[in-house]
Structure 1
């Protein structure tokens, strides 16, 4: 076992603290990664605070991880020492169910193994990327292209793939009108990616405070949802709406913005239920859907797409001792647009 420095939540109500955690010995198919940067995702906060259910503490979170391969198992074929690599939201799956066999292991019918807070193959609870090292099965390790700035790459492993996957699945591209609800960590990536795909992009945000940013990131239009006239002006307009906010919204109001056969896809994950009137769906044959991260293959596709189109998240680099303050700023929407932890500050 390898003992490594980490930041962990002692409970659902206490601040995260410096500690150490154990990493398993390298198996024949495993890769040891020295972590360089780890992104802070709103999911980390929901998890450690028990919003999505009870956890086993202490818990080290973080599922936006980039670093360098420092050792490989005897049967590893796809990665070498020194490679720039990444790890996202999952580190294993059953490999046997129909979804896994279809290359959609994020929807593993037995439940994929999350990067943190899941039962690992050895019965231990997985611990995430707020740490100096991680051991991961090579099949769940991704190649990070050289022309993606490494200090900004980590959020692509969650925010990037979480927005890329529905945009690709619902065919965002030339001739399609795409709306993005919320311009935060997820939303700003949705804008960049949808724009690069060739769609006409509109941001729907509570206020116009981030309008200049939205237009700079690639939006063609920007509207304030606090203005009731927005919903009248944009009724029956969009082919696809990506809702990135992790809070309850008036789904019926947003569904009314969909054109014929349009789809509203939720990628934000509020802990509360989202009410909906089914009659809203009848108009324009609208659809309401959800999308969870992406497969390993699609995540690599996303990384290559971002490298090709010069896409990287907008990030603010912090030290490990700033994590608790960063959590409060995330909750106050005071970040543009993703915190990234410099893991050298944990060594």
Structure 2
């Protein structure tokens, strides 16, 4: 007997969620053929994909940021375009441009690389702000406006952007509005010695991406995204999300807390994680697991906190963990909320 209200939205709960996890496992296994030992990063990427969000991958050069983005894109039979962000990149190089056709004596729109299902933006923080901002409308509204004409983007639509830490030469920090449009940020980290040895053994003489073939397609991913949207979120868990986001706005170490958009991204990511865990309802655990990747990159910390020399990403994650410990965890059935560790 089905008792959870979330299951009532599913045509066949067992079959639907089984199909979703089967496809997700195929994509995960495909990516893991070239990215070894990064389970958390790959799982977060899958969560962002199934919530139809956008992913920011930040880390030092050479640890596999672009490899992860390309491996995920190649695992799906969909339109994939890549943008190499450089200081001389123009907004029209991203969105497209209207060109005068002498034959028809009219302007014709030539679509830019954002007209794809998956857009891989490499080293996004090496471009000028005007080129970075060209993605703003695309990411939020899934459309492009050129010369007063609006063009719809394809569905599903996902931006996977990589960037180097802002401390590195030739980089500039993404503006707050740009960061806020990314559903989650992940870091790769250096591989373990065993994973690095396996990489040398497997890919020392060949392009590792050449062995990846699509395991699903855009239409199937679109169906899974629609399915994830039906995952049930109880009023208690929704209030928990509101409390967490609100907690970032009152924390003494945070100058600018998470936006209302962060709350929307967090509930969508929690739904996707619940589905990947073979549930049609969200638990507080789903919210807690996604809180740091979804919210850390949106926070603006007080300058004096950053004088410690600790990397900004680590600082933000540590402060968010403190916020998580301050907010009571909801309990089912209206019982008294739990504190962390209770």
Query: Normalised by the shorter chain, which TM-score bucket?
Result: under 0.3
Greater per-residue strand proportion: 1
Instruction: Indicate the structure (1 or 2) with the bigger Cα radius of gyration.
Output: 2
Considering Cα pairs closer than 8 Å and 6+ residues apart, tell me whether 1 or 2 has the greater RCO. 2
